[in-house]
Amino acid sequence: MRMASDARRLKTLVVGGTTTWLVIFTLLPFLIVLAISLAEPRLGVPPFTPLLECGDGIWPRINASLANYTTLFSDSLYVEAFLGSVRIAATSSLITLLIAYPMAYAIARTQARLRLALLMLVILPFWTSFLIRAYAWTGILNSNGLINSALLNAGLIAEPLPLLHTEFAVHLGIVYSYLPFMVLPIYAVLERLDWTLLEAARDLGSRPLRGFLRVTLPLSLPGVYAGWLLVFIPALGEFIIPDLLGGPGSLMLGRVLWTEFFNNNDWPLASALAVALLAMVLLSSALLYRVMRRPEASS
């Protein structure tokens, strides 16, 4: 019976250890956020009312209120932040897709020995600092930045264009930062694509464009969905890009949460925003996941 007990002890250690870590550092924090989103802010340390208080009898009194959530859905600031997050994440994901698809397609159709190097060149920026890549654009989009100086010097404009701190800059930043995440999954699907299918379509009379629309594109949809998932979801909760490149008007949830927490010191409201953000992220992931799992999408 030695193996059985040896193996069982090892299994208990490995599973038990990691489960403990995950419960303490992933599950418990979310539950705490959920709990504090039901509390009310106060001055003091910690800056929120306790959920459980010693009551008159044996049972502790529960101080839970949905006030924070009511605020979220009634105050136009938060509603706009919601809509802004979804809108900006969606449009920038779409632009990313429009740039990434041709790139992935071009890489998949080059000679095999070049592909790895080209792919490496797509991945490399992803490894280099996210913060620095967002920062790089501030120097370019500035009112005295590269683009404006060039245009001014050429005499094309009389005044610097407002490029930085605009929604345009936020889109640019997201597209730029997340492009590799869209290229990789699409490339992965296209690379495995059986190109004789395209030849079969040609043989059956499809012109190149029709062949692409009727064969290549449908077969590469799983990669597109995966890419969309990898860009849209993190873009929803993005903080650095809207904060660094966006203007005061570009409201996104991540940024509003940050402001509530650091500037207004309203921890309960920040928690409620976090819960809403999480719900949104999980909901969109689940939706996209369902689309990906549709039988016709995973052929």
Partner 1 sequence: MTGHRSVTLLTVLGFGYAFLYLPIAILIVYSFNDNRLVTVWSHASLRWYWALLENQQLLDAAWLSLRIAAVSASISVVLGTAAAFALQRLRPFFASRGFEVLAVMPLVVPEVLIGLSLLLLFVVVGDAVGWTVPRGAATITLAHATFGMAYATVIIRARLSQLDPALDEAAAILGATPWRTFRRVTLPLLLPAIAAGWLLAFTLSLDDVVVASFVTGPGASTLPIVIYSSVRLGVSPQINALATLIVVFVACLILAATLMTRAGGRAHGRL
Partner 2 sequence: MAPLGRPAGPEQPIISIDGVSKNFGAQPAVVDVSLDIARSDFFCLVGASGSGKTTLLRLLAGFETPECGRILLDGEDMTGRPPYERPVNMMFQSYALFPHLTVQNNVAFGLQEERLPKAEIGARVAAALELFDISGLAARKPHQLSGGQRQRVALARALVKRPKILLLDEPLAALDKKLREHAQVELAALRERVGITFVMVTHDQEEAMSIASHIALMRDGRVIQVGTPRDLYERPASRYAADFFGAANLFDGTLAGGSGAVSHVDCPEAGCALRVTNAEGVSPGPVTVMVRPEQVGVHKTAPTGGNVLPAGVTNIVFLGSAHVCHFTLDSGKPVQARLSPTDMAQLGGLGSGDRVHLSWDPAAGRVLAS
The DSSP code for 156 is S
State the number of binding residues for partner 2 (CB under 8 A).
5
Q: Cis peptide before 208, with omega less than 30 degrees from 0?
A: no
Smallest distance, partner 1 to C-beta of residue 238, A: 7
Smallest distance, partner 1 to C-beta of residue 243, A: 8
Is 186 a binding residue for partner 1 by CB under 8 A? The answer is: no
Q: Name which position in 182, 184, 224, 238 contacts partner 1 (CB under 8 A).
A: 238
141 vs 81: CA distance, rounded Å:
24
Cβ distance to partner 2 smaller for residue 6 or 75: 6
Q: Name which position in 67, 161, 239, 297 contacts partner 1 (CB under 8 A).
A: 239
Residues 90-119, mask of contacts with partner 1 (x by CB under 8 A): ---------x--xx-xxx-xx-------x-
Q: List the single partner that 139 binds among partner 1, partner 2, none, CB under 5 to 8 Å by kind.
A: partner 1
Nearest in space to 299 (alpha carbons), one of 194, 187, 196: 194
Window contacting partner 2 (CB under 8 A); options: 1-9, 39-47, 158-166, 239-247: 1-9
Residues 280 and 256: beta-carbon distance below 8 Å: no
Smallest distance, partner 1 to C-beta of residue 279, A: 11
Q: Name which position in 44, 58, 113, 127 contacts partner 1 (CB under 8 A).
A: 127
CA distances from 59 to 36, 54, 62, 66, 159 (A): 20, 7, 9, 21, 68
Question: DSSP labels for 42-107?
Answer: -SSSSSB--SEE--SSSSPEE----HHHHHHHHSHHHHHHHHHHHHHHHHHHHHHHHHHHHHHHHH
Q: List the single partner that 36 binds among partner 2, partner 1, none, CB under 5 to 8 Å by kind.
A: partner 1
Q: List the single partner that 4 binds among partner 1, partner 2, none, CB under 5 to 8 Å by kind.
A: partner 2
Q: List the single partner that 107 binds among partner 2, partner 1, none, CB under 5 to 8 Å by kind.
A: partner 1
182 vs 221: CA distance, rounded Å:
12
Cβ distance to partner 2 smaller for residue 3 or 158: 3
Nearest-10 crossing angle of helices 112-127, 167-192: 150
Q: List the single partner that 272 binds among partner 1, partner 2, none, CB under 5 to 8 Å by kind.
A: none
280 vs 22: CA distance, rounded Å:
22
15 vs 210: CA distance, rounded Å:
52
Summarize as ranges the residues that interact with partner 2 (CB under 8 A): 1-4, 6
